[in-house]
A and B are shown apart, each in its own frame.
Chain A
């Protein structure tokens, strides 16, 4: 049955029988409805609003209906044209009605599989399966039945080595090996959603979406209701009253929207957050489930982990919070990064990192080595000098309030520079290279030393004068490059040479050796 391509694929079996993955099959036909339903869910509030406001004309409504009909036709076409099957070696996906595309993905190149259930998809019992691979931008199967999707995810992440003909008994060719997906053997929960995490939500940047979105919606509706005179009315009110009153009103209104908004966004993203580790025959597998309306489930094999990172936004850092993410090898939808903990207590983030890496203490929690004072000088020169220059120019050529603000900025920028310097640090553990930088968004990354696939060392003109370098390790995961910024040149190269033994031996000057021999 495997390797046999039928000219006309059989109709989609409704059953969730695992064996059928070995044959060509379509995604669920419900996906044709899901597309328009999803858009309709977005359009309906606008439509109701426009009827209510009175701007809805017959043209407007019929145009919307036409667009929905087009989406429906497109959905039917896509459902009709998309086929996939899973053989022992490959996942094959055929798409396109006019422009035919046959994608052959080697199963051992599959790096991660994630499932997304949008709200409309949940109602219809569907999922989007995104497959990330090492050498391709990945592929998404839109509209797989939810039950099938979970099974497919597990199958795609099983070890292809067990599916190769050499390890398969040749006597059973009728049962596709692809279908013998392992059941999870006892999942260990590493962390779960805690209500206390919600306290950290107002300190995340998520609330801005709520504030700007709501402000935009309000002005739009008000504009419609007042025949586009809302802006002038607001401006008139502001000029008529004291600016302090406006400032006070804003100071009250923004948090009043921001706090509940950020909590709502946080809940939508991280409700029911669960990080688990399953044991399959492909080694351990980390799995994240999360989401309130749209639920997401991502899985990666532990062999793909290349490290972890801790991200602290300035307000979050001020209250002792952080988010943790795993660095996952591979590009595309399922690769690069996976949330280990949402914004929450730093201690929890460190604990989960340690658990995820199977260490007693997360490499990101070790004390870091400071960078030389020349780095502080560079931060100050780059951060403060332009502001001072601007302030001087303004003092000469601008009204007092301008240069007052410019001078007031200087100490603030100096503080930021100082904080940026304090953030700089690096460490080397037995398995990880740790580097930290950043002020507004402080970023501590621990990159597996065996996952470092190259070095880039750069030195600007200013760094050359100060004897500093930036040493960057390239990896196959996430950002692709992690930098130790403004480190002393000798220490930096030593760090690189120690982190990946042997690679730099041939390229380094051994000063003491050379000197000794020359004497």
Chain B
């Protein structure tokens, strides 16, 4: 897992919780008057940069989110100020109208091309900002590989005793479908799966070919649970399960970096305990 190790070491000191923005910037977005300084964080782009670096987020991404969330005047201001060597309008200039390219995919996951992604413009939801650990691809590859491998082995054994055209055809089909499942599926899923803890909810996008967006308000979360299977332990991954009072409301995020999962679980447990009632 050469790629994954690097991603693991670049662990943020504090979990980048809300859209990858520093708390100061978020506070300013909520209420500019509450943040000291004449122009809030916009006053000093260096501070802003340092702020963002401290939580391990990406500065460009933060600015982009900022531009998206801020009022029109503030957005103009940001775009003007972003300059820093880049032409004005760069931040928003690269956003096509029909498609909102994901900030994460073009910085972290460099191989992914826009065509390979499901079109987000079809569903007017923005993507959650965090990807899973890159090592999850290895996990899924092994796991699906094991399943298809077993089927293949069974078919091969059957072939020893009984030979027919049907059986050969079945074997070829298994190799073809299994090959696609092991070769393409994990990569696809990795590109799709995302999560985010906003100020009010846990927000995830998972699944391929069927996409599932799930939104669980923090105030309704009842239980937070992390699991580590044997293979997951080896890859330093974890699965986080969040349950609500609904029989179908559980959100399961597989393939988080172990430490990120622990931090997320701790944060969720903290905020959940602050909710006084039983969330039904």
Could you say which residues of chain A place their CB within 8 Å of the CB of B247? 331, 479-481
Using a CB-CB cutoff of 8 Å, which residues 100-139 of chain B contact chain A? 100, 118-119, 122-126
Residue A29 CB within 8 A of the other chain: no
Main secondary structure, interface of B, reads loop
A514/B216 contact (C-beta < 8 A), A490-B124, A493-B125 known: no
Task: Give which listed residue, A469, A474, A489, A507, contacts B198 with CB less than 8 A.
Answer: A507
Task: Give which listed residue, A464, A503, A506, A517, contacts B119 with CB less than 8 A.
Answer: A464
Contact B217 A458 (CB under 8 A): no
Using a CB-CB cutoff of 8 Å, which residues 497-519 of chain A contact chain B? 500, 502-504, 506-509, 511, 514-515, 517-518
CA distance A331 to B124 in the complex (A): 34
Could you say which residues of chain A place their CB within 8 Å of the CB of B222? 135
Could you say which residues of chain A place their CB within 8 Å of the CB of B55? none
Interface residue tally on B, bucketed by range: 35 or more
**A residues contacting the other copy or chain, number (CB 8 A):** 42
Residue A9 CB within 8 A of the other chain: no
CA distance A335 to B212 in the complex (A): 28
CA distance A330 to B214 in the complex (A): 22
Contact B211 A474 (CB under 8 A): no
A504/B215 contact (C-beta < 8 A), A453-B246, A454-B249 known: yes
A474/B124 contact (C-beta < 8 A), A455-B214, A457-B212, A506-B198 known: no
Could you say which residues of chain A place their CB within 8 Å of the CB of B126? 507-509
Residue B92 CB within 8 A of the other chain: yes
Contact B75 A489 (CB under 8 A): no
Scan B236-254; emit 1 where CB is below 8 A from any A CB, else 0: 0000000011111100000
CB distance from B243 to the nearest CB of A (A): 10
A503/B201 contact (C-beta < 8 A), A453-B280, A481-B248 known: yes
Could you say which residues of chain A place their CB within 8 Å of the CB of B68? 514
Q: Smallest CB-CB separation from A509: which chain B residue?
A: B124
Contact A509 B100 (CB under 8 A): yes
Q: Smallest CB-CB separation from A331: which chain B residue?
A: B247
CA distance A287 to B181 in the complex (A): 53
A517/B75 contact (C-beta < 8 A), A135-B278, A455-B214 known: yes
A454/B203 contact (C-beta < 8 A), A329-B280, A330-B280, A476-B280 known: no
Q: Smallest CB-CB separation from A468: which chain B residue?
A: B122
Q: Smallest CB-CB separation from B93: which chain A residue?
A: A518
Contact A489 B215 (CB under 8 A): no
CB distance from B95 to the nearest CB of A (A): 7
Identify 19 new A-B residue pairs, CB closer than 8 A, beyond the known A454-B216, A464-B211, A507-B125: A135-B278, A453-B216, A453-B220, A453-B244, A454-B214, A454-B215, A457-B212, A458-B213, A474-B246, A476-B246, A480-B249, A481-B247, A481-B249, A490-B124, A493-B123, A506-B19, A508-B125, A514-B95, A518-B95
27 A-B pairs (CB sep. < 8 Å): A135-B278, A451-B280, A453-B220, A454-B215, A455-B215, A457-B212, A458-B211, A458-B213, A459-B122, A461-B209, A467-B122, A476-B246, A476-B280, A479-B248, A480-B247, A480-B249, A493-B125, A502-B200, A503-B215, A504-B215, A506-B19, A506-B199, A507-B203, A508-B124, A517-B72, A518-B92, A518-B97
Closest 10 CB pairs of A and B: A480-B247, A476-B245, A476-B280, A474-B246, A453-B220, A480-B248, A474-B249, A481-B248, A457-B213, A480-B246
Chain A positions within 8 Å of B, measured between CB atoms, are: 109, 134-135, 329-331, 451, 453-461, 464, 467, 469, 472, 474-476, 479-481, 489-490, 493, 500, 502-504, 506-509, 511, 514-515, 517-518
